[in-house]
Chains A and B, each alone.
Chain A
Amino acid sequence: MIVSRREALLGRVLLVVLMAVTIVPFISLFVTALHPGGTYPQGITWPEDPQWGNFARAVEAAQMGKLLGSTLLIEVGVVPAALLFATMAGFALGQLRIRGHRVLLVLFLLGLTLPFEGVVIPLYYQVREMGLLGTRWAIVLPLLGLYMPFAVVWMRAHFATVPAELSEAARVDGAGLWQLFWRIHVPLARPALASLGILLFLWTWNQFLLAIVMVDDPTRRTMAGALGAFQGQYGTDIPLLCAGSLLILAPTLLVFFVFQRQFAAALLAGAVKG
């Protein structure tokens, strides 16, 4: 491509500005977290005496151990089941093309842009009737339903690209439907599954509305839900709040950096989810 030197330079400058705008808030959060508790530091200033202990204080004040345990329980309840159900449905819609697969696909597409606020009220009463209010099931079960439109559409897109001849060949070799699915198609779907799994993991970690509606006790919520409660309790202690926020967002960044390759593709393709 023909690019003049001036354009290339301008591009570099813009990129650096964009990166700075992205990173500076994180830096501000970090240096503020190092100031003495209860103070209101001016903008970004490196503290004279960095209070690394603030992170330990935040771990204790937010009961970080319990939070982490709770979130992981919710993740374990949501992610594997969502992956399994979506893969099965995607397989039936995209590869088997069962009778009515178009109608079913449209039905799932309908839910793709649904704002959670639209259904949170009946969900609350439904979960209350089930006697699950205040338990982690109150977050896990609705999320499984709410993730289905995106997850099924995502997996269907994968299975629609796998040649049908593969299934035919396996059938000729005597594979049953379940074997065909489990032995042939699931291993091939691994990249699609990995991306979806990472997205579902992050969305669950970051889920806020359901967490604060369904569960009063912050130590039984998702990380984001617990952070909301933490802000309510320690909102005036800015350094402590910053330290707590950093601790809760750091794992999401870690997951992102480790699984970057799958992630960028997933986020771009998965961007249709609201």
Chain B
Amino acid sequence: MALLTRSARRPARRRAAAWAGWLFVLPALLFYGVFVLRPIALTLQYSLYDWNGIGLARFVGVDNYVRILTDERLLSPILHAFELIIFFSAVPVVLGLLVANTIRGIATTRLAGVARTVVFMPQVIPLVAAGIMWSWLLSSTGLVNQLLRAVGLGQLARAWLGEFDTALPAVGLIGAWVLLGLCTVLLLAGMGKIDTALYEAARLDGAGPVQEFFAVTLPGLRQEIAVCVTVTVIAALSSFDIVYISTQGGPGGATSVPGLQIFYLAFSQREVGLASALAMALMVLVVLVVLPVQWVTRRGEE
């Protein structure tokens, strides 16, 4: 009876509040529309023009996109971004899983509590500061080389961010450092939610630590892994601050990434159309990578 009256009463109330309710969304919608949705549409529009930002724009259709795919200078940043995924995403997630699984048993101890706080530190500082910090650590007189010399690997010492072969992995290392703590803590939190009875059952069935990990832990962490992958992949694809500070895309474009290339094309070379096409490509890439991850986790839950 109570249920009936409530459901009968609600629509009328809802109608009355309909227009007033919209007023509550209005400010957020306005800012979102003006400073996000409109700019997205404009990026798409600019991307179809040859424009230097001042003079007349000339419609060129998909020419800018064709140039991105055919010009090495424009395509390589995208490839670099994918390479960065290994460092920004694969390393923190895999390492995070290993570390979290190992410390799972002592997750309630005081040490684990302190560690949880400490490993978050890279997450809260400006990426610019992380970039400056690591530029120094990786420089020829920095800590990394000092450690190498200390263990007798002095011949490996080099200016890591300054050499062709090592610059991109070095940038990746900075990203891995920033994101490892986040992934570890996130995964640890997820492990805390797994029913301990499952572990006991696995042990009773004679599962070793490895089997246990694959049979109990990994499936139980689907949600958390999806979040880790999403966050870190986006961080890799749209990296800017770290690269801008530590290498400016050098040496010779070896660490150029889409974000950086967009910035240079639009604001120093005044190739606004081309920069916009790259920006569109970046947004599409992010969606293409993030959607399947979301889809897989959603489906797994059902």
Report which A residues bind B (CB closer than 8 A). 1-3, 7-8, 10-12, 14-16, 18-19, 21-26, 28-29, 32, 40-44, 84-86, 88-89, 91-93, 96-99, 104, 107-108, 111, 113-126, 141-142, 144-146, 148-149, 151-152, 168, 171, 177, 181, 202, 205-206, 208-209, 213, 223-224, 227-228, 231, 238, 241-242, 245, 248-249, 252-253, 255-257, 260, 263-264, 267-268, 271-274
Contacts and interface: CB of A to CB of B under 8 A. Distances in A.
B26 to A, nearest CB: 8
Contacts of B112: 15
A270 B39 CA distance: 24
Contacts of B238: 115-117, 274
Nearest to B241: A208
Given A25-B177, A223-B126, A268-B189, A19 B286 contact: no
B231 A145 contact: no
Given A7-B209, A268-B189, A241 B141 contact: no
A108 B32 CA distance: 8
A11 B104 contact: yes
Nearest to A100: B22
Interface residues of B, number: 104
B22 A42 contact: no
B94 interface: no
* Residue with the greatest number of chain A CB neighbours at <10 A, chosen from B32, B99, B136, B279: B32
Given A14-B103, A228-B245, A86 B28 contact: yes
Q: What 5 A-B pairs are tightest by C-beta distance, nearest first?
A: A145-B35, A43-B146, A3-B105, A115-B238, A98-B21
B137 A274 contact: no
A29 B136 contact: yes
B123 interface: yes
B136 A267 contact: no
A252 B266 CA distance: 31
B40 A227 contact: no
Contacts of B199: 1-2
A88 B103 CA distance: 41
Q: Indicate the member of B34, B37, B103, B283 with the most A CB atoms within 10 Å.
A: B103
A224 B128 contact: yes
Interface string B115-132: 111111111111111001
